[in-house]
Amino acid sequence: MSLDSISTSIDDAVSDFFEPVAKHVGDVVFYTVPVGDTELPLIVAWLVIAGLVFTTWFGFIQVRKFKLALDTVRGKYDEEGSAGEVNHFQALTAAVSGTVGLGNIAGVAVAVSIGGPGATFWMILCGLLGMASKFVEVTLGVKYREEHADGTVSGGPMHYLPKGLAERFGNGGRIFGKVLAVAASIMILFFGLFGGNLFQTNQSYAQVASTFGGEDGFLASSAGAVLFGLVVAALVGLVLLGGIRSIAKVTSRLVPAMAAMYIVACLVVILTNVTAVPDAIGTIFKGAFEAEGVAGGVIGALIVGFQRAAFSNEAGLGSAPIAHSAVKTNHPASEGLVALLEPFIDTVVICTMTALTIVIADPASWAEARAGESIGGVTITSDAFETVLPWFPNLLTVAVLLFAFSTILTWGYYGLKAWTYLFGKSKVSEITFKALWSFFVIAGALLSLDSLISLADSALFVLSIFNIIGLYLLAPIVKKELNKFLDYARARKARAAVGGGEPEEETAKAL
């Protein structure tokens, strides 16, 4: 039996299993209610309402404390002797590497193809609201993190849900928190598998095959897909063995460089067509409130916009606190403020740039996708760049590979923390997970984009149910932590103004 026939058999087996599962799971999770001429999935409303509640509860913290967040990530309020493994900047880049990626490149193209240009407006709104949700969950993640004897740190919903609810409501809260934590850990594993692993491999392979494979080339074949998956799996396994320090070292270099390169490319396309920018912005706003030609009209554009933004920035899911919990700080809210920059970078800046690039360039593949043809999201974005930079798809392929690689690494770390919470922290347990995680990378190149998005979205929104219930119940604790950090920041700023250092009381705590 030839390699190609074996690869084709694997391809068919993977597709036959996952595609029916994706359809049935999606039908259950995205249960809808009639709203005007369309259907609104209740679970999408759940995430939107959470962003509104936390934005109001914390007095539009994403606006009022934006500068303080920037100062904190620059190290202005770093504390000597703090517990943790990485600094504020490294924690941010490690977490951003799990969000900035193919969700911004391929996911945005999917959004403006299904929901029209108006979906962009709703993505931006979701990103702004998500900044408050991210602040709440990351503050809790740092406050209730677990410090191990070897100096490593574990955090996330599997830790703050049982500990925080026990602190607020006693033994009953602990039991309820434990149930939520187990459910959240399971869904982190599922979303990590479909969204943080398989989706990344799928779209990076699509870009490589589109750019270098041709219609009949080896890369476009099942054998090429399997080989691509094997190479990525091997590289992922090697880096995962180094833990969060290794991941942070890689992502702190890759993420800023990748994001800068991608934004510059978007600007080139936009500025080359600068006269078309006002019309593009007008089209986005008009589409947000009229959404002509879009299934479901305005509500349809809103749903797609919020779904793709949630997939991209992960606000309210409890995933980012896992990476942020490794930060060196004695003030949990300091990292919460740093984390609210994530949805801004990811959705408000990078997703908007991608959408503008596609709307302005208006590539033929986008029109084909809007007409119902099956076109890969990353292909549409690549074609948009090619209208101005004919050589850029080659460079975009490199960026896509690096984005995908860093996201797989970060979600491998998230998944490992959920895995060890469920199955115990031991060398055997960790190696087993890393081997399974690397193995599943291979399947990503074989699945259809529609199936992967359906499975990833289903896991994402179910995860948000368990996590956000806990966030509502623990929000008063977050407010106390915020006030503590604000007092510390004011005292430190006042002391620095007269030539002093840290406030004595805070220095004593740090030491």
Residue 146 pLDDT: 85
Reported as type and span, the H/E element at residue 173 is helix 157-193
Output the pTM of the full model. 0.79
The DSSP line for 456-503 is: HHHHHHHHHHHHHHHHHHHHHHHHHHHHHHHHHHHHHHHHHHTT--S-
The secondary structure of 336-388, three-state, reads HHHHCHHHHHHHHHHHHHHHHHHHHHCCHHHHHHHCCCCCCHHHHHHHHHHCC
Say which residues have a Cβ less than 8 Å from residue 344's Cβ, sequence separation at least 6: 62, 66, 127, 128, 131
CA atoms within 13 A on the CB side of 309: 35
Residue 508 pLDDT: 39
Residue 507 pLDDT: 40
The one-digit pLDDT tens for each residue of the chain (511 residues) are 554 565 555 555 555 555 665 565 656 565 566 666 666 677 777 888 899 999 999 999 999 999 999 988 888 887 776 666 778 887 787 677 666 666 777 778 888 888 888 888 888 888 899 899 999 999 999 999 887 776 677 788 989 999 999 999 999 999 999 999 999 999 888 888 888 888 888 878 877 777 776 556 565 566 767 777 778 777 777 766 665 566 666 666 666 677 777 788 888 888 888 888 899 888 888 888 876 555 555 666 777 777 777 777 778 888 888 878 888 888 899 999 999 998 898 888 888 888 899 999 888 888 888 777 766 677 888 888 888 878 777 777 777 777 788 778 778 888 888 898 888 878 888 888 888 888 888 777 666 667 777 777 788 788 888 999 999 999 999 999 999 999 988 888 787 777 655 554 444 343 3
In a domain, 367, yes or no: yes
Query: What whole-number distance in Å separates Cα of residue 102 and Cα of residue 453?
Result: 12
Residue ranges making up the domain that contains 480: 14-488
In a domain, 130, yes or no: yes
Distance of CA 60 to the CA centre of its chain: 22
Strand partners, 33: 40
In a domain, 71, yes or no: yes
Domain count, the chain: 1
Query: What whole-number distance in Å separates Cα of residue 67 and Cα of residue 74?
Result: 11
Tokens of 237: 């396994």
What CATH number corresponds to the domain at position 337? Answer: 1.20.1740.10
Give the three-class secondary structure for 299: helix
In a domain, 195, yes or no: yes
Tell me 220's DSSP state: G
Are the C-beta atoms of 130 and 313 separated by less than 8 Å? Answer: yes
Q: Which of 2, 3, 16, 5 is nearest to 443 (CA)?
A: 16
In a domain, 504, yes or no: no
Are the C-beta atoms of 212 and 219 separated by less than 8 Å? Answer: yes
Give the three-class secondary structure for 83: coil
In a domain, 333, yes or no: yes
In a domain, 143, yes or no: yes
Residue 214 pLDDT: 56
In a domain, 183, yes or no: yes
